[in-house]
């Protein structure tokens, strides 16, 4: 695939940290084989996440300088409110420090003990807030979403029959809202179609159930709709984003994704009474309802970022860079989640490391190995991320065991993507040397952030020279 030129030029750059293989090996041991625990000055290309790591535009930086830092009634809040109304069409917003702040308020607002929240695959923080509020998340995504090799164009779609069956089984009064993500992160950044969301909306309306969207990456979702959905080729990304939002009652937003900000988020609601209640809650957990958890300058930057995020050329360049990396990896035979998603390329660790059992954490092992090979940081999105079922205490054992290579927006060039593909290919050639990990520190909530591991045996592919030097102080001797 030929990648069209980016619709921007670069005027500020940062040097990339450089490390030796030996230093990286020492770093991953110290980090307990968890890429979240690496210091960023030991990371050369940081593809841990596309969240808060994006390059802001000149306009956004200008907005940072004129942000209104008034405690109450800041003009920057008004700008944010206007941007949300213009682009997404929601009537009211409650600003929060980031997406999970909005998820927390939403869960506290709507979920009662014993409630069930259907959704198109779980997301880590989203599900945890639902559970902490007394609810149970129930996955109603189409089965193809769990199959990495399926090339279904809308793997974020809801299985409408499964949704109807769930509503019939537990009764609509136990379902406070449908939790619908666009795109679906844990499925590989996969989109939901407009057609499917319309069907979801119709089912919800039949039973007077609210639809709440996760709009962190809705512009990417809209781009896929423009490219793939019959009848949508002539629509702008901005128009499709609006159509999606119009099919919902509200949204949780992490402004660290599409709007390219380093921090920020909000809860958007159309119902004025719910908004009033959300205002009562936000002052407890985030801050006054005209800043939530955000400084005025960030509200200004988010407002500008929202408008910029729905520009067709911007979003095309972004998604095509992700596709470019996908193509490079596929040509070297790396098993991926297909089609390649909107914000990252997801390696299928089960097929990459078929000899490592699921509870020896194949994806965690692979992310650590790629780091040691090249200083490229990726993230596990599999059994560690999924955590444990609070009712049974067992691992959730998700069908997808993935390593996510997330690409920050406007930060790296395609030459960096080539370096990533080369590193993954090198690890693939030595995959037999990887033997899996054992978890030695397991936090109770969102364990993937801070869990620590040790190798089941010597696991990381190192050059023989480094192995000789490393064995004296490597994890094997711990």
Binding positions for ligand F0G, rule: CB under 6 A? 49, 51, 98-100, 123, 125-126, 181, 185, 214, 216, 254, 256, 265
* Rounded-to-integer distance, Cα 285 and Cα 104, Å: 9
**Which residue lies nearer to ligand F0G by CB, 163 or 294?**
294
Report in angstroms how near the CB of residue 462 gets to ligand F0G at its nearest: 28
**Which residue lies nearer to ligand F0G by CB, 209 or 215?**
215
3-state class (DSSP) for residue 119 = strand
* Rounded-to-integer distance, Cα 133 and Cα 118, Å: 15
Phi, psi of 36, rounded to the nearest 5 degrees: -65, -20
Report in angstroms how near the CB of residue 186 gets to ligand F0G at its nearest: 8
* Rounded-to-integer distance, Cα 433 and Cα 461, Å: 6
**Which residue lies nearer to ligand F0G by CB, 256 or 350?**
256
**Which residue lies nearer to ligand F0G by CB, 350 or 381?**
381
Report in angstroms how near the CB of residue 471 gets to ligand F0G at its nearest: 34
**Which residue lies nearer to ligand F0G by CB, 167 or 245?**
245
Phi, psi of 141, rounded to the nearest 5 degrees: -75, 155
* Rounded-to-integer distance, Cα 262 and Cα 302, Å: 9
Element (H, E) at 22: helix 21-30
Phi, psi of 388, rounded to the nearest 5 degrees: -115, 150
Residues in the chain: 478
Report in angstroms how near the CB of residue 180 gets to ligand F0G at its nearest: 11
* Rounded-to-integer distance, Cα 314 and Cα 151, Å: 25
- Of 54, 35, 145, 36, the closest CA to residue 412 belongs to 54
**Which residue lies nearer to ligand F0G by CB, 310 or 470?**
310
* Beta-bridge mates of residue 404: 346, 379
3-state class (DSSP) for residue 215 = coil
Q: In a 10 Å sphere around its CB, with 0-12 CB exposed, 13-18 middle and 19+ buried, how is residue 457 labelled? A: exposed
Report in angstroms how near the CB of residue 172 gets to ligand F0G at its nearest: 25
Count the helix, strand and coil residues of the chain and give each as a percent rounded to the nearest 5: 45, 15, 40
Report in angstroms how near the CB of residue 396 gets to ligand F0G at its nearest: 17
* Rounded-to-integer distance, Cα 128 and Cα 131, Å: 5
Report in angstroms how near the CB of residue 303 gets to ligand F0G at its nearest: 17
* Rounded-to-integer distance, Cα 152 and Cα 184, Å: 14
Axis crossing angle, helix 296-309 with helix 75-87, rounded to the nearest 10: 20
Just list the catalytic residues: 71, 123-124, 214, 257, 381, 448
**Which residue lies nearer to ligand F0G by CB, 125 or 378?**
125
């Amino acid at each position: 695939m030929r990648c069209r030129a980016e619709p921007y030029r670069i005027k500020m750059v940062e040097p990339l940290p450089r490390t030796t293989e030996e230093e990286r090996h020492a770093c991953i041991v110290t980090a307990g084989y968890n890429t979240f625990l690496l210091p960023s000055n030991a990371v050369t290309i940081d593809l841990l996440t596309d969240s808060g790591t994006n390059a802001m535009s000149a306009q956004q930086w200008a907005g940072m300088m004129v942000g209104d830092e008034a405690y109450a009634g800041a003009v920057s809040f008004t700008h944010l409110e206007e941007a949300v109304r213009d682009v997404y069409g929601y009537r009211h917003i409650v600003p929060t420090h980031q997406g999970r702040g909005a998820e927390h308020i939403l869960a506290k607002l709507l979920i009662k003990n014993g409630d069930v929240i259907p959704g198109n695959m779980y997301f880590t923080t989203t599900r945890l807030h639902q559970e902490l509020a007394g609810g149970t998340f129930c996955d109603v995504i189409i089965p193809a979403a769990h199959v990495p090799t399926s090339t279904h164009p809308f793997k974020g779609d809801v299985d409408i029959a499964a949704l109807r069956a769930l509503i019939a089984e537990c009764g609509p009064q136990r379902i406070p809202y449908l939790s619908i993500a666009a795109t679906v992160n844990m499925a590989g950044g996969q989109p939901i179609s407009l057609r499917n969301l319309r069907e979801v909306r119709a089912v919800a309306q039949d039973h007077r159930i609210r639809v709440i969207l996760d709009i962190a990456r809705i512009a990417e979702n809209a781009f896929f709709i423009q490219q793939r959905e019959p009848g949508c080729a002539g629509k702008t990304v901005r128009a499709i984003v609006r159509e999606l939002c119009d099919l919902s009652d509200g949204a949780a937003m992490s402004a660290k994704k599409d709007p390219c900000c380093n921090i920020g988020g909000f809860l958007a609601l159309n119902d004025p009474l719910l908004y009033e209640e959300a205002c009562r809650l936000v002052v407890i957990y985030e801050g006054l309802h005209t800043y939530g958890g955000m400084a005025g300058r960030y509200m200004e930057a988010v407002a500008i970022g929202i408008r910029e995020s729905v520009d067709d050329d911007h979003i095309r360049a972004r998604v095509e860079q992700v596709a470019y990396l996908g193509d490079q990896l596929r040509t070297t035979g790396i098993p991926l989640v297909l089609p390649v998603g909107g914000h990252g390329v997801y390696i299928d660790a089960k097929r990459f490391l078929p000899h490592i059992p699921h509870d020896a954490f194949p994806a965690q092992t692979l992310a650590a190995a790629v780091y040691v090979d090249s200083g490229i940081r990726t993230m596990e999105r599999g059994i560690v991320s999924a955590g444990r079922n609070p009712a049974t205490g067992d691992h959730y054992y998700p069908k997808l065991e993935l390593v996510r290579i997330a690409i920050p927006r406007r930060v790296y060039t395609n030459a960096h993507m080539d370096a990533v593909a080369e590193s993954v290919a090198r690890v693939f050639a030595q995959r037999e040397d990887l033997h899996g990990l054992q978890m030695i520190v397991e936090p109770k909530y969102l364990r993937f952030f801070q869990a620590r591991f040790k190798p089941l045996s010597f696991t990381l592919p190192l050059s023989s020279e480094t192995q000789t030097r490393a064995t004296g102080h490597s994890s094997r001797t711990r």
